[in-house]
Structure 1
Amino acid sequence: MKTPLLAALLASTAALGTLTACQVPDQAMEQAAPQGTELGIRTDWMDTSANPGDDWYEYVDGGWMKKTEIPADRSGVGGFFIADQQTEKNLAALIAEIEKSDPEPGTNAARVKTFYDAYFDTKAIDAAGMTPIQPDLQRFQAITDKRDLAYVLGSQVRADVDPLNATDFATENLFGVFVTQALKGGEVVPYILQGGLGMPEREYYLSDDPKMASLRDQYRSYIGNLLKAAGIADADAKAKRVFDLEMKIARAHVSREESDDWATASSLWSQDDFAQKAPGLDWNAFFAGSQLSPFKTFDAYHPAAITQLSALVESQPLDAWKDWLTFHQINANGDVLPTKLDDLHFAFYGKALSGTEQPRPRDKRALAALNANMGDALGQLYVEKYFPASAKAEIQGMVDNIKTAFANRIDRVDWMAPETKAEAKKKVETMEVGVGYPDSWTSYDDLDLKPGAPYADMQAAEKLRYRQQLAKIGKPQDKREWWMNAQLVNAVNLPVQNALNFPAAILQPPFFDPKADPAFNYGAIGAVIGHEISHSFDNNGAAFDSTGAMRNWWTDADKKKFEEAGKALADQYDQYEPFPGLNVKGELTLGENIADIAGLQAAYDAYRASLNGKEAPVIGGFTGDQRFFIAFGQTWATKMREAALRQRIATDGHAPGNYRALTVRNMDAWYKAFDVKPGAKLYLAPEDRVQVW
C-alpha cells in the first residue's frame, strides 16, 4: 500500500462524513460486525503439510505459490493483482457498455469514450507519426537563452508527484510541484521537489552494484535508440549529453533516506528566497511558466537538491538541456506515439528494469491511462455499477470498530505520559475516513478532448489536473480530499489531513467478502484498515498532531520508548535475506512494518470485541483465530520476478509480501492459535515480540 505523507496520485476532491469511532459503544460494535458465515480463507492456497511455526508463509500460501505463474505482462502477482484483475474485468464490461451506447455529449461517459477510443487506436497513432508532438519539440528548439529555458522548465511542471517518494517524479520535469498544507500547519502551499531522472532514483545512477551499472548502460543505449526512432538528428551525440546531464542531476538529488526525513527535508521559502538560496535558474521566469507567480510561500521540500539543480541550469550547456527536454517529452508519452517508440520504452522500463516479459494488452493499458488522466470520471461510473451501499456501510462499521480498538490500545500503553496519550487519542477521534468513493467528484467540464488525438488529450488532462491543484493554494486544508481513484486496489494514509482513503476496488476478495465470517474480514480488510490507521502513529506519521501539523507532541521519554520499539522491529526485518548478501532494509521499510504490526493488533482486538466474549465457531476445521491469521497471511501472497524483487528491496519502503506475512510472529495470539512452541524457526521469545502500540 502506498503510505507516504500524501499520495499525490490522481486529482480528486472528496467529502465523507466524520467517523468518531472512539465514541462507538460495544453494542454498536456488535451491530456493525460482518454477518457472513462462510469460511472465507482459501484452503487450496495452503500447504498444510508445512509447520506454521517453521514456515508460516508456506503454510498459508504454499499451494498458491506452486500453482501460480506470473503473467508475461507482469513483474509480479499477489493479492492486489487478484483484486485488480476483477476490477479490470468490471471496467472492461463498463467500457463495452459505453462503446455500444451513444453517450450524451458533455457527460463523463462521452469523455471516457473519446479518450479510450483515441488511445486504443494504434493504427491512427502510427499513421500520425511524430506530428502530434512536434509543437512541443519545436518549443524546446526555439529556446535561445537561459531565461527561455527557465520559462519552459516551468511550463513542463505537472501536479503528479509524491513529496516523500523520490521515485514518483514525472520524468519530464526538472522540478515537481505538489499542493497541500504546509508540513508545519497553516494554509495550503505548493511544494517544490527534486526531479528530472529517467530511472527510478539516484541510486540507479550512482550505485557501484554491477546490476545497477548494467542498467545504466542499457539506459544510455535506450536514450539513443528512442531519439533515433523519433527521427531526431545526431541522436547518439544528444543521447550522450542527456545521460551525462542526468548523472549530474542524480548527484544533485538528496538520498532516499534524506528525502524520508520529513522534518529536515521540508523548509518554507518565500518566492524571493529561491533566487537567494538557489541561484542559477531564473526563478521569475520559472514561476511565470509554471503559473506559480501569484503565490508567495512555498515548501522547498528538498532544499539542498533545489539549490544544486538550479546551479546545473546555469552551468550546463543550453543544448544539453534542450536535448534533455526533447528526450523526456518523447519518453513520457511513448504510449501515444508510434508503436516503435512504445516498444522501445517497454524493452527498457518493462523488461530491463522490472523483468516483465511482454507489454500489457492495449485495452488494459487504455484503462490504466483513463485511470491516470480521468480517474473520477471512470470511478463515478464504476461505483454506480459495482459498489453497493451495503458494502460501504459494512466497511464503515469495521472502521469504527478498529478505531475504537486502536484508541483502547493507546489507553493500555504503560510507558506513555497522559498528555501524549491525550493527543494520540485525539488523532484517532478526529481522523477522517473515506470509504469507497468521494461524495464530491472531480469535474471534467473544462477538459477539451479531441476525437482521435490521444497525445493532445493526455496533455490536456495533465494541464487540467495541474490547474485544479493550483486552485487549492492559499485555502484551508480540505481534510476530506481524496487522493485515490475509487477503482484503485490500494489504500492510503494522509497525515497532513489526518485522513484515510479506502477505495471501492480494494473492498473485494481477497481483502473483503460479505459472505465470509468476521474472522476472515477482520484478518484481511480489517488488517488493511488497521494498517492505514497505524500509519498515523508510525515513525513518520507520529510526527504529526491531530490537526495535521508537524510538531513534537511527545515527551522525551515517550519518544525514546517509541524509537526503541522501532529499532527492534527494524532489526527483525534486517534478518530477512531474499538473495544471498541482499537483505530487506529494516530502516527503509520501518514505517510499513510498524503499520503492519500495529494494524494487525488493532484488527484482532476489534474482531475479538465483535464476538462479545463468545468464541467463534469452528468452520472447515479452523478456529476463528486461525481463520483471522490465515486471512492476513493470504492477503500477502506474493510472487515477483527477480529483477522486480531486487528493485523493491533497493528502493521501496514496503518489504516483500512474504516477509510482511511474518508480522504474526510478534503477536501472542498467533502462538496460541497454532501452538507454536520454543524451537520453532519463527519463534520469538515473549520479550522479543515487538509491540509498538
Structure 2
Amino acid sequence: MNVRNLVPLGLTIAIAASLAACGKNETAPAADAAKPAFDQSQIKTALISLNSADLDPSIAACTDLNGFVNSKWLKANPVPGDQTTWGSFEILRERSLEVQHALVQQAAASQAKAGSVEAKIGDIWKTGNDEAKIEAAGLTPLQPTLDKIGALNDTAAITQYLRDSQAQGQGVLFSLFANADYKDSANVIAYVGQGGLGLPEKGYYFDDAQARIRDAYVAYIAQVLTLSGVDAAQAAEQAKAVMAFETRLAKASMSRIEMRDPAKRYNPLSAADADKLTPNFSWTALFDTLKVPAAQKFSLAQPGFFSEMDKMLADVPAATWQSYLRFHTIDDASPYLSSQFEKANFEFYGKTLRGQQEMQPRWKRVLESVNGGMGEALGQLYVDAVFPAESKEAMQHLVQNLSVALKARLEQLPWMGEETRKKALEKWASFTPKIGYPDKWREWTGLQTNGDSYLGNMQAARAFNYRYMLDKVGKPVDKTEWGMTPQTVNAYYNATKNEIVFPAAILQAPFFDAKADPALNYGGIGAVIGHEMMHGYDDSGSQFAANGNFDNWWTDSDRKAFTERTDQLVAQFDGYESVPGVFVKGKLTLGENIGDLGGLTVAYDALQMALKENPKANVEVDGHSQDQRFFMNWATVWRRNFTDGELRVRLNTDPHAPANFRANGAPSNMPSYAAAFQCKAGDAMVRADDKRVVIW
C-alpha cells in the first residue's frame, strides 16, 4: 500500500507513540562553535503574515471571516502544479524543506566519518539522486522479494512470509506497533490493527461516488503487474482478483469514524487466546519471529477484520495471494525504483486520486525519503541551523498563559459537577508541554547504509526503525521521546502521555512572531496551544485520565451534558457543504472541532489577560483592534486552497474539517467575535442562542 501524503498537515491528536526513540549517541550531529552560521539567504519562500492589503472589504467580517481575510490571497495563489493544497501550512513546509535541502547537500558533500549520522544521511541523499543507477537497476533490487512471493504455494508458506516481512517493517495486511498500554500507560505493549487496503478508506470500495476511482485503481494494479513482467491479459485478471481481495478486507474493516473510539483500538489478550481467534495465523509464532515479548498481553483490536483475514488465508487461492503481495510490494517500493514505477504510482495516487498535476521535483521526493528514514537526525541539524533559543523561551511563556486561562475555564464551567471538575483539574495540572525539539536525541548506531542502492538504504532504514520501535515492547514508556520531527510544520497531543508538542518548524508567522503584537501570537500559536490542550478534553482524549490511562473519570450526568454539547457541534459541521452534494462529516471531525472551539476560546481569554497586564499593547494596528486582529490571524492560519481531488479525499478520511470551515466555525460560536466586529443577530457569523455551541 502506498497512499502517500494523505495525512494532513494541521493539528492532530496522537494516541500511538511514534517510531522515534531517544538516547545519547556519540556519532549524532551536534552544535559546533566553529561551524559557520546557516545562510538564511537560501530560504526563498516568504512567510505569510496578516496584511491589511489582503483584506477584501467587499466581504463583511460579520458574513464570512474567511472570505474577508483570505479571499483575495486565495484567488491570487492557486495550488501549484506539484501540490494538492496551498496555504499557510504548505508555505511554512516549503521554508522548512529549503533549510533541509541545504543541510542534506552539506552532509552529502562533507567528508563525514564512515558510519556517522552525516554519512548515513549523505548515503540516502546521494543514492536517491543517482537517477542513472536507479534507471539501470529497474526492478532488480526488488527481485529477491518478488521471487519469494512467487514461490508461495500454500497457507503455511504465506503465513511464514507474512511473519518474515513484518519483521522487516514491510507489513501489508495489518499494522503492528509499540505504544503505551491504554490501561497501564507507564508501560509499552504491542498493538495490532487493521490494514491491507490500497485505497484511502473502506468507503472507496463500496460508495457509488467512488466508482471512477475504483476503476482507475484496478487499471493501476494491472499496470504495475504488467510493468513487473506479468502478461498484460493475465495482469488484468489478477488486478480484478486483487480488487476483490481488498474488497473483502474493506467490508470487514471499521470506518474512520468508528476508529475514533479508543475502545475500538484496544482489545488486550494473550497470544494463546488470539491464536484461537485466528487458527490459520499464529500470533505466538509471529511474536517469536519478531522477538517481541508479547505472549502474555497485546492489543488485537478490530476482531472482525482479523477473523476475515484468517478465513482468507484458508480460502483464497495462493495465486491470488501472490498477485496481492506482488502488487503491494512493488507499489510500496515505487518511490525508490525506476521512473516507470514511480510515474505510474504518481499518475494514480497523485493525479487521479488527489488532483496533483505534476510530480514534485526529485530533490523534494528524496528529501521525503531522508525524513522517512532518518527524520530525527535531520531534525537535529535543522534545530542547530535555524531555531533560536528565544523562540522556545517565548513559547514557554505563552503556554503558561494559556494554561492559566484554561484552568479558569475549568473552575467556572457551569455544566460540570465538582467530582468531574476535580479530575479535569488533575489532568490540567499534569499536562507536559514540549517545545521545539527533544531534550535527548535518538541514536543511529546499527543502521547500515551504503552508496550503492537507494532501495537498499530505505529498506535498511525501515527495518532499523521498526526494530528500534519493537524493542520498546515490555519496557517502561520513554516520556522524553517525540512523535514528530522538529522540522515538521504541525503540533500534536498524546493522550497516554498527556503531553502537548510543538515542533520548531511551526514556530513562525502566521503562528508565531516574537516581534508581533499580542493579538497575532494569541490568534496564531496561542490558539494552537489551546487546541492541543483541549484535545485532552475532546470526545476521545477525555476518555484518558491525568495519568494517561484509558479510564472513565466522568460522572454519568456530566458525560451526558458533554455529549449533548458535542452533538450540537457534529450537527453544525454536518451542515457545511464543501463541494456540491458532499458535506463535512461532523463525527469524523468532532475531535478537531472541539479543539478549535475550546482552543480559540481559551486563547482569547489569555489575550485579555496579557492585555490587562500590559495595557500599552492594547492598541489598534492598521485600523483594527487587538480583538479583531486576534480573529483575523486565526483565519490567516487557515488560509488554504485545495485541488478538487484532494478535498474529496480529505472529506472521506481527514479528521480535520476543510480550512475555510475551521476559519469560520469556532468564531461563529463566540460572542466575543460578534462584539469585536459589532455583528448583529441574524448575521451569518452570529449563531442564534439555541444554535450556538458552548463546551469549554
- TM-score > 0.5, shorter chain as reference: yes
Task: Give the 3-state SS of the residue equivalent to 1:343 in structure 2.
Answer: helix
Give the aligned partner of residue 648 of structure 1: 650
Shift in Å, 1:159: 9.5
The structural deviation recorded for 1:441 is 1.4
Shift of 1:350: 0.1
CA displacement 1:533-586 (0-9 Å, x = unmatched): 110100111000001111110011111111111011111111111223211111
Match of 2:677 among 667, 674, 678: 674
Instruction: Measure how far apart 1:257 and its partner are.
Output: 2.5
Task: Show the 5 A alignment for 1:500-579.
Answer: 500-579=500-579
Match of 1:25 in 2: none
Contact 1:151 1:290 survives alignment (8 Å)? no
Once the two structures are TM-superposed, the CA of residue 8 in structure 1 deviates from its matched residue by 5.2
Conserved? CA contact 2:105–2:122, under 8 Å? no
Using the TM superposition, give the Cα deviation of residue 121 of structure 1 relative to its aligned residue in structure 2, in angstroms: 1.5
Compute the displacement of 1:5 (Å).
4.3
Paired position in structure 2 for 1:661: 663
Equivalent pairs, count: 658
1:91-148: CA deviations, max 9, x gaps? Answer: 1222233344322222221111111111121211011111111111122223343122
Match status 1:134 vs 2:140: no
1:82-97 equivalences under 5 Å are 82-97=91-106
Aligned to 2:121: 112
Deviation (angstroms), 1:419: 2.0
What's the TM-score once normalised by structure 2's chain length? 0.91
TM-fit CA distance, 1:633: 0.6
Listed as ranges, the matches of 1:149-164 within 5 Å are 149-157=158-166
Contact 2:294 2:474 in 1 (8 A): no
Instruction: Mark the runs of 5 or more structure 1 residues left unpaired by the alignment.
Output: 16-38, 161-169
What is the Cα deviation at residue 302 of structure 1? Answer: 1.6
Residues 289-328 of structure 1: CA deviation (Å, up to 9, x unaligned)? 4444654211112222122212211221112112211111
Question: Helix, strand or coil: the match of 1:156?
Answer: helix
Structure-2 residue corresponding to 1:587: 587
Residue in structure 2 matching 1:219, options 217, 220, 234: 217
Assess if the C-alpha contact under 8 Å between 1:618 and 1:624 holds in 2.
yes
Q: Deviations over 1:638-685 (max 9, x none)?
A: 111111111111221110000000111111111111111113122212
| Distance change >3 Å, CA 325–CA 2, structure 1 → 2 | farther
What's the Cα RMSD here?
A: 1.9
**Cα separation, partners in 2 of 1:453 and 1:391, compared to 1, 3 Å:** same
What residue is the counterpart of 1:386 in the other structure? 386
Give % identity: 37
Q: Aligned to 1:230, which of 222, 228, 231?
A: 228
1:334 and 2:337 are equivalent in the alignment:
no
CA contact (8 A) 1:271 1:295 kept: yes
Matching residue of 1:41: 50
Aligned-partner Cα distance in 2 for 1:214–1:97: 45
State the SS of the aligned residue for 1:578.
Answer: strand
Give the match's secondary structure for 1:157: helix
Equivalent in the alignment of 1:23:
none
In structure 2, distance between residues paired with 1:546 and 1:265: 20
Contact 1:179 1:473 in 2 (8 A): yes
- Residue 237 of structure 1 and its aligned partner are, at CA, apart by 3.1
Preserved contact between residue 115 and residue 448 of structure 2 (Cα < 8 Å): no
Q: Tell me how far 1:446 sits from its aligned partner.
A: 0.9
Question: Normalising to structure 1: TM-score of the pair?
Answer: 0.92
The 1-side partners of 2:279 and 2:408 are apart by: 52
- Amino acid of the residue matched to residue 49 of structure 1? S
Distance 1:190 1:7, change over 3 A: closer
Q: Contact conserved, 2:60 with 2:68, CA < 8 A, in 1?
A: yes
In structure 2, the residue matched to 1:35 is: none
Query: d(CA) in 2 for partners of 1:61 and 1:572?
Result: 22
Shift in alpha-carbon separation, 1:431–1:458, aligned structure 2, 3 A: same
Alignment check: 8 A CA contact 2:16 2:180 kept? no
Greater shift, 79-88 or 146-155, is seen at 146-155
Q: Could you tell me whether the CA contact under 8 Å between 1:5 and 1:541 is conserved in 2? A: no
Deviation by residue 1:352-377 (Cα, 9 ceiling, x = unmatched): 11000011100011111111111111
**Structure-1 separation of matches of 2:475 and 2:108:** 40
Q: Which residue number corresponds to residue 18 of structure 1?
A: none
Aligned mates of 2:275, 2:597 — CA distance in 1 = 46
Q: Conserved in 2, the CA contact under 8 Å of 1:190 and 1:298?
A: yes
Q: Is the CA contact 1:53–1:676 (under 8 Å) kept in the aligned structure 2?
A: yes
CA pair 295-518 structure 1, distance change in 2 beyond 3 A: farther
2:2 is equivalent to residue 3 of structure 1: no
Could you tell me which residue of structure 2 aligns to residue 437 of structure 1? 437
Q: Which amino acid aligns with 2:51?
A: R
- Post-superposition Cα deviations, 1:482-524, rounded to whole Å, max 9, x if no partner, equal 1001110111111011112211111112211122111101100
**How far did residue 480 of structure 1 move?**
3.0
How far the C-alpha of 1:423 sits from its partner, in A, is 1.3
Residue 621 of structure 1 aligns to a residue whose secondary structure is: coil
In structure 1, distance between residues paired with 2:496 and 2:389: 29
SS across alignment from 2:190: strand
Work out whether 1:415 is the aligned partner of 2:415.
Answer: yes
Name the aligned partner's letter for residue 344 of structure 2. Answer: L
Judge conservation of contact 2:242–2:324 (CA < 8 Å) in 1: yes
Matched, 1:146 2:155: yes
Residue 442 of structure 1 aligns to a residue whose secondary structure is: coil
CA contact (8 A) 1:666 1:689 kept: yes
